[in-house]
Chain A
């Protein structure tokens, strides 16, 4: 169908070369475990800031946002508006002083300092599992994409290899590169490469969006080619039936805005580790705020391609008959059923056994929204810049993996190995363990990659995993940092209860267009939600509140910790950071207010 030429390969190899090269350059600087796991705590704010947002530019953003844009429209951008940005402001201003100030080396370690050992254990285990899942999903998504785009077909044909090996080849290739640079340079490597990836994504996607918009006739042209509801962020959000996502404002506000977004940005070590690598407290607080600025504009780069993909006309098989020099000529253009039954550039999913499109419970063809952005790339980019676009995609996948691996190796080494297996080792010993954990983590991810099938939107999968683990978590941190009466027993019970609630809720409810199984309803179906997303949001809401209530109740029944032990860990017992010497507009708070105003303005514009 389509071939990459030498130019495309050249650009891709250039990127791989630089990525591994940065690892080599950092290797000699890895002298202590602090260098390896925490980048020496010596990085400037702008690097950490861009890495902070890049940590969230893996598979779920680039492909998933495009898929959500195609499926739900601009409402997807709400992830940015009410969710991410307010959460990022909150973590920068209010939570970073505790994370950074406590000198904890990981988020689970912070839980040990604030609460107790068993709370840390619960978090460490669930987090470690989650990182492996996420990394595996990234790998799987990338490999499937390489298969679907047929980018390696030419290479395989030329070498005489079986095409079935493309999936494995993609996985092994990406795993090898990530393993190389993380093994050598640790967190610093991951962070530096993320900054590189940040610019690469802009370089790859900005021309795509510009071309796509120009083709469809600008913004007003786009408005005319997609359903009206898709172009509005807030209209129709009062009731579930009036917006494409099927979520009403309470579900959206609480579930998405508050619980899921805050759960992710405020407690996920994956993201927090980039801020904790800063060189001082000042920088650490500014990191999430710096990250919030490009975050506001990224919907333009990653959601709009999804809209553009469905704005294009759906190809159909056509027959053109004409007469030429006395002969009747039929020109038949055949389009495969998966493309024809799709919508715009988004194909339908084909059942490999029957060859017919798979159907949703309502009889509509099930669409493969994940292909929205990649197909758009192939549609508009000629060879040359196509290499750049594909490299940007690859970069986002690989960095998604890399972050998970660095978070995994830190949590494994400090929170699992050092705490429970072998306490008194030397620094060199733990560095070696960290490197082994890197290898182990990647191998586990590869295993997961071979198991991640069944969702037509990567975002839904990730949101599900996150909602089980993160939603209850945020309640624990909130109470831990702002309520000195919260105790270890309370936190522990709350976490268990919250996670159990999440699983229970998922087992008892089902989205309308799905069958019981991985989409829910595996205990019994008591309630139907209009969409996957709505179910996810409400799972998060229930998990959060159950955790909150249980933690408060159990804390009151158990002995409080002496206040002296909690200094620097709880808001009311920590001295305010000194800002008197700074001009008012340089303080983090001023930056936060400016960002909030900008976000409100954007949301009004896209109402």
Chain B
């Protein structure tokens, strides 16, 4: 399958993280809301963590996707000759 999965995963977490961070910023200081999470603004902090994670995955995914595109353009025989040898040995 020619889809580097890190791209959509990264995108989803970056978006989810952005939503949480935005919400966290908007409700910062709302003691009643954050009483259950021990006074910590989890939305803000965890949102930032997710954005960082999402962006990292997305960038890796983009690099991987470019490599997949490049490999697809190469003639079949040339593609990953070392991998071809492994396949032969293993089967």
Question: A residues touching B (Cβ–Cβ < 8 Å)?
Answer: 7, 10-11, 14-15, 18, 21-22, 25-26, 29, 39-40, 42-43, 47, 101, 188, 192, 195-196, 199, 203, 207, 211, 214-215, 280-282, 379-385, 388, 577-578, 581
In the bound complex, what is the Cα–Cα distance between A506 and B50 (angstroms)? 47
The bracket for how many chain B residues form the interface is 20 to 34
Contact of B20 (CB < 8 Å), options: A43, A188, A384: A384
Contact of A282 (CB < 8 Å), options: B24, B36, B90: B90
> What would 26 A/B residue contacts be, using CB atoms closer than 8 Å?
A7-B19, A11-B16, A14-B15, A14-B16, A15-B12, A18-B12, A39-B1, A40-B1, A47-B5, A195-B5, A196-B8, A203-B46, A211-B40, A215-B38, A280-B90, A281-B87, A379-B36, A381-B37, A382-B33, A382-B34, A382-B36, A384-B42, A385-B42, A577-B90, A578-B89, A581-B89
Instruction: Find out whether the CB atom of B36 lies under 8 angstroms from the CB atom of A14.
Output: no
Q: Which residue of A lies closest to B85 (CB)?
A: A581
Smallest CB–CB gap between B41 and chain A, Å? Answer: 9
Q: A40-B1, A388-B20 are in contact. Are A199 and B42 (CB under 8 A)?
A: no
Residues of A within 8 A of B38 (CB): 211, 214-215, 380
Smallest CB–CB gap between A257 and chain B, Å? Answer: 31
As a 0/1 sequence over residues 1 to 40 of chain B, the CB contacts with chain A under 8 angstroms (1 = contact) are 1110100110111011001100110010000011011101
Residues of B within 8 A of A42 (CB): 1
Question: B residues touching A (Cβ–Cβ < 8 Å)?
Answer: 1-3, 5, 8-9, 11-13, 15-16, 19-20, 23-24, 27, 33-34, 36-38, 40, 42-43, 46, 50, 53, 83, 86-87, 89-91
In the bound complex, what is the Cα–Cα distance between A18 and B12 (angstroms)? 7
Q: A7-B19, A47-B5, A382-B36 are in contact. Are A14 and B12 (CB under 8 A)?
A: yes
In the bound complex, what is the Cα–Cα distance between A42 and B71 (angstroms)? 14
- Please report whether the interface of chain A is mostly helix, strand, loop or mixed according to DSSP: helix
In the bound complex, what is the Cα–Cα distance between A43 and B83 (angstroms)? 14
Q: A11-B16, A195-B9, A384-B24 are in contact. Are A26 and B1 (CB under 8 A)?
A: yes
Residues of A within 8 A of B89 (CB): 577-578, 581
- Of all A-B residue pairs in the complex, the 9 with the closest CB atoms, nearest first, are A281-B90, A578-B89, A384-B43, A18-B12, A384-B23, A7-B23, A382-B33, A385-B42, A280-B87
In the bound complex, what is the Cα–Cα distance between A349 and B83 (angstroms)? 57
Residues of B within 8 A of A14 (CB): 12, 15-16, 19
Residues of B within 8 A of A40 (CB): 1
In the bound complex, what is the Cα–Cα distance between A280 and B15 (angstroms)? 34
Instruction: Find out whether the CB atom of B90 lies under 8 angstroms from the CB atom of A382.
Output: no
Instruction: Find out whether the CB atom of B83 lies under 8 angstroms from the CB atom of A22.
Output: no
Instruction: Find out whether the CB atom of A207 lies under 8 angstroms from the CB atom of B19.
Output: no
Residues of B within 8 A of A192 (CB): 1, 3, 5
Contact of A211 (CB < 8 Å), options: B16, B42, B50: B42
Q: Which residue of B lies closest to A202 (CB)?
A: B53
Residues of A within 8 A of B50 (CB): 203
In the bound complex, what is the Cα–Cα distance between A338 and B23 (angstroms)? 35
Instruction: Find out whether the CB atom of A578 lies under 8 angstroms from the CB atom of B13.
Output: no
Contact of B13 (CB < 8 Å), options: A25, A203, A214, A382: A203
Residues of A within 8 A of B42 (CB): 207, 211, 381-382, 384-385
Residues of B within 8 A of A382 (CB): 33-34, 36-37, 42-43
Smallest CB–CB gap between A90 and chain B, Å? Answer: 19
Smallest CB–CB gap between B79 and chain A, Å? Answer: 12
Smallest CB–CB gap between B20 and chain A, Å? Answer: 6
Highest count of chain B CB atoms <10 Å: which of A196, A381, A384: A384
Highest count of chain B CB atoms <10 Å: which of A101, A192, A195, A203: A203
In the bound complex, what is the Cα–Cα distance between A381 and B33 (angstroms)? 9
Instruction: Find out whether the CB atom of A383 lies under 8 angstroms from the CB atom of B33.
Output: yes
Instruction: Find out whether the CB atom of B46 lies under 8 angstroms from the CB atom of A385.
Output: yes
Instruction: Find out whether the CB atom of B19 lies under 8 angstroms from the CB atom of A11.
Output: yes
In the bound complex, what is the Cα–Cα distance between A281 and B86 (angstroms)? 9
Residues of B within 8 A of A29 (CB): 1-2
Smallest CB–CB gap between B37 and chain A, Å? Answer: 5
Instruction: Find out whether the CB atom of A21 lies under 8 angstroms from the CB atom of B36.
Output: no
Contact of B46 (CB < 8 Å), options: A188, A207, A282, A379: A207
Highest count of chain A CB atoms <10 Å: which of B1, B23, B53, B83: B1
Q: Which residue of B lies closest to A384 (CB)?
A: B43
Residues of B within 8 A of A26 (CB): 1, 3
Instruction: Find out whether the CB atom of A388 lies under 8 angstroms from the CB atom of B16.
Output: yes
In the bound complex, what is the Cα–Cα distance between A155 and B5 (angstroms)? 33
Residues of A within 8 A of B5 (CB): 47, 192, 195-196
Instruction: Find out whether the CB atom of B37 lies under 8 angstroms from the CB atom of A281.
Output: no
In the bound complex, what is the Cα–Cα distance between A199 and B27 (angstroms)? 26
Q: Which residue of B lies closest to A10 (CB)?
A: B19
Residues of A within 8 A of B16 (CB): 11, 14-15, 203, 388
Instruction: Find out whether the CB atom of A43 lies under 8 angstroms from the CB atom of B1.
Output: yes
Smallest CB–CB gap between B54 and chain A, Å? Answer: 9
